[in-house]
């Protein structure tokens, strides 16, 4: 999807169309950019950039806090469309997926025609654009999908992978970050074509097993298979405070809201979490995590109770810069027997699903726990 979060904001607020939009919160705060519209990207704004730097680069931008529930609803719409074209869909993130179109020609024509139909359906049903790459494997398709944004379609015919990749920067290769790129530059390699000229043995000698992978990917050879239905490994929520927070009440209220959000995501995915992890980053940037493993749950209140227990045990004696909660150790909901043995949990689960229905229709603030009602009213 193209500038997914920012594009949803522009779609839902016509006054933002054509204007630079940055999703990531208060420009005076200490968060990072979650998404930037293409209008903002022209000024050098990029995802994961500190929001204060983004404000310096593009002071005229509209800064908005992320609405993950709304983005998640649109993501589910998009993924449902993809599954109408193939049973083999690997969700990579909230706004990206791989689709295996092998064997679907009798239904939708060739792969390129099928992708054109997918893009048209996404635009018609969500009002958003998607960019796609069509290739014989995951790696080349991913690279192709990034080259003609927004609303692009790049096709790499089988057998043309090496020629397609040759002029591109080595950073396009999976696993080539800043350190590897500098090491390759020391060998005179800045493009994938230059990497293709290096003997495999040279790369293995310099980078070990990773060198062999680099050699294969440089020629567009990727034997990895799609992993449809791969469960999410973890679900989490974090908050960076504008000013370091030493107020225990505010920390708990923040945790409560985060736990509710995590619980909703778990229920939407049909999974429950056995492990709850609390993350704290202090004013001096020291970061700690504390975890608790217990019976699987997808209940926001239970997630909060476990997280706040970890917080109380830690006894945050110094101001907190960031607080977060994550749920992992995921398994399919209902795999255990606890809900059947505990009527209170079963009742709370039914209540949570009823609230989910209202949230889906009316937004995240339609129904909230009483402890969050007053903070929301002050926003």
DSSP 230-258: PPPSEEEEEEEEEEEE--HHHHHHHHHHH
- Residues designated catalytic: 96
Q: Count the neighbouring beta carbons within 10 Å of the beta carbon of residue 177.
A: 8
Contacts of 153 (CB under 8 A, 6+ apart): 112, 115, 116, 119, 131, 132, 133, 134
**Helix or strand run (H / E) with residue 274:** strand 271-282
Q: d(Cα 241, Cα 86) in Å, to the nearest integer?
A: 43
**Helix or strand run (H / E) with residue 205:** helix 200-207
Q: How confident is the model at residue 341 (pLDDT cuts 50, 70, 90)?
A: very low
pLDDT digits (tens, 9 = 90+) for 3-19: 999 999 999 999 999 99
Distances (CA, A) of 13 to 6, 9, 17, 18, 363: 11, 6, 7, 11, 15
Q: Which residue from 7, 130, 132 is spatially nearest to 70, judged by alpha carbons? A: 7
Q: How confident is the model at residue 335 (pLDDT cuts 50, 70, 90)?
A: very low
Residue 338's pLDDT is: 43
Residue 295's pLDDT is: 85
Domain at 4-66, CATH from 3.20.20.70, 3.90.920.10, 3.40.50.12280, 3.40.1170.60 = 3.40.1170.60
Q: How confident is the model at residue 343 (pLDDT cuts 50, 70, 90)?
A: low
Residue located via tokens 């129904």: 367
Domains of the chain by residue range: 4-66, 131-229, 234-378
CATH fold of 234-378 reads Dna Ligase; domain 1 (3.30.1490)
Residue 290's pLDDT is: 92
CATH fold match for the domains 4-66 and 131-229: no
Q: How confident is the model at residue 336 (pLDDT cuts 50, 70, 90)?
A: very low
Range scoring the smallest mean pLDDT among 156-165, 261-270, 364-373: 364-373
Range scoring the smallest mean pLDDT among 83-87, 188-192, 237-241, 304-308: 237-241
Q: Count the neighbouring beta carbons within 10 Å of the beta carbon of residue 272.
A: 26
Q: How confident is the model at residue 348 (pLDDT cuts 50, 70, 90)?
A: low
Give SS3 for 132. Answer: strand
pLDDT digits (tens, 9 = 90+) for 21-47: 999 878 887 778 989 999 999 999 998
Range scoring the smallest mean pLDDT among 2-16, 54-68, 135-149, 267-281: 267-281
pLDDT digits (tens, 9 = 90+) for 288-305: 999 998 888 889 999 999
Q: Examine the pLDDT at 367 and tell me if it is beyond 80.
A: no
CATH fold of 131-229 reads DNA polymerase; domain 1 (1.10.150)
Joined tokens for residue 60: 């005229």
Residue 143's pLDDT is: 97
Residue 340's pLDDT is: 43
Q: d(Cα 209, Cα 196) in Å, to the nearest integer?
A: 17
Q: Between 228 and 206, where is the model more confident? A: 206
Q: Between 73 and 339, where is the model more confident? A: 73
Q: d(Cα 203, Cα 187) in Å, to the nearest integer?
A: 10
Residue 364's pLDDT is: 59
Distances (CA, A) of 143 to 102, 146, 302, 358: 19, 6, 42, 39
Contacts of 178 (CB under 8 A, 6+ apart): none
Contacts of 76 (CB under 8 A, 6+ apart): 268
Q: Examine the pLDDT at 377 and tell me if it is beyond 50.
A: no
For 298-318, what is the mean pLDDT?
Answer: 88
Q: How confident is the model at residue 171 (pLDDT cuts 50, 70, 90)?
A: very high
Q: Examine the pLDDT at 251 and tell me if it is beyond 50.
A: yes
Residue 320's pLDDT is: 92
For helices 4-12 and 68-85, angle between their N-to-C axes, nearest 10 degrees: 110
| 226 phi and psi angles, rounded to 5 deg | -65, 145
Residue 92's pLDDT is: 83
Name the burial class of residue 347, with classes exposed (0-12), middle (13-18) and buried (19+) by CB atoms within 10 angstroms of its CB: exposed
- How many helices (H) and strands (E) are present in the chain, helices listed first? 17, 11
Q: d(Cα 207, Cα 173) in Å, to the nearest integer?
A: 14
Q: Examine the pLDDT at 355 and tell me if it is beyond 70.
A: no
Which one-letter DSSP state was computed for residue 277?
E
Q: How confident is the model at residue 227 (pLDDT cuts 50, 70, 90)?
A: confident
Residue 26's pLDDT is: 82
Mean confidence (pLDDT) of the chain: 87
Q: Which residue from 210, 38, 53 is spatially nearest to 129, judged by alpha carbons? A: 38
Percent of the chain with pLDDT over 70: 86
């Amino acid at each position: 999807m193209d500038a997914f979060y920012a594009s949803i904001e522009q779609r839902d607020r016509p006054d933002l169309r054509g204007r630079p939009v940055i999703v990531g919160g208060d420009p005076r705060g200490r968060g990072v950019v979650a998404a930037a519209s293409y209008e903002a990207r022209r000024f050098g704004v990029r995802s994961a950039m500190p929001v204060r730097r983004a404000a310096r680069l593009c002071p005229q931008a509209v800064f908005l806090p992320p609405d993950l529930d709304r983005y998640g609803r649109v993501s589910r719409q998009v993924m449902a469309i993809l599954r109408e074209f193939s049973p083999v869909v690997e969700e990579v993130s909230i706004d990206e997926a791989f689709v295996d179109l092998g064997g679907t020609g009798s239904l939708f024509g060739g792969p390129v025609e099928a992708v054109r139909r997918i893009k048209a359906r996404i635009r018609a049903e969500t009002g958003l654009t998607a960019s796609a790459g069509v290739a014989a494997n995951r790696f080349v398709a991913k690279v192709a999908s990034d080259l003609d944004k927004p609303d692009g379609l790049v096709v790499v015919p089988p057998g043309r992978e090496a020629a397609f990749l040759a002029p591109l920067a080595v950073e396009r290769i999976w696993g080539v970050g800043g350190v590897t790129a500098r090491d390759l530059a020391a060998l005179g390699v800045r493009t994938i074509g230059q990497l293709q000229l290096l003997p495999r043995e040279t790369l293995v000698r310099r980078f070990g097993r990773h060198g062999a992978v680099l050699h294969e990917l440089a020629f567009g050879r990727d034997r990895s298979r799609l992993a449809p239905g791969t469960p999410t490994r973890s679900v989490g929520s974090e908050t960076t405070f504008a000013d370091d927070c030493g107020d225990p009440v505010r920390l708990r209220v923040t945790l409560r809201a985060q736990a509710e959000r995590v619980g909703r995501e778990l229920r939407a995915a049909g999974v429950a979490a056995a492990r709850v992890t609390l993350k704290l980053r202090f004013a001096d940037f020291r970061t700690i995590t504390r975890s608790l493993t217990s019976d699987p749950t997808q209940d926001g209140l239970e997630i909060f109770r476990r997280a706040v227990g970890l917080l109380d045990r830690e006894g945050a004696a110094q101001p907190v810069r960031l607080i977060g909660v994550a749920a992992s150790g995921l398994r399919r909901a209902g795999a255990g027997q606890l809900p059947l043995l505990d009527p209170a949990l079963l009742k709370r689960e039914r209540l949570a699903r009823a609230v989910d229905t209202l949230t889906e229709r009316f937004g995240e603030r339609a129904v909230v726990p009483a402890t969050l009602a007053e903070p929301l009213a002050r926003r």
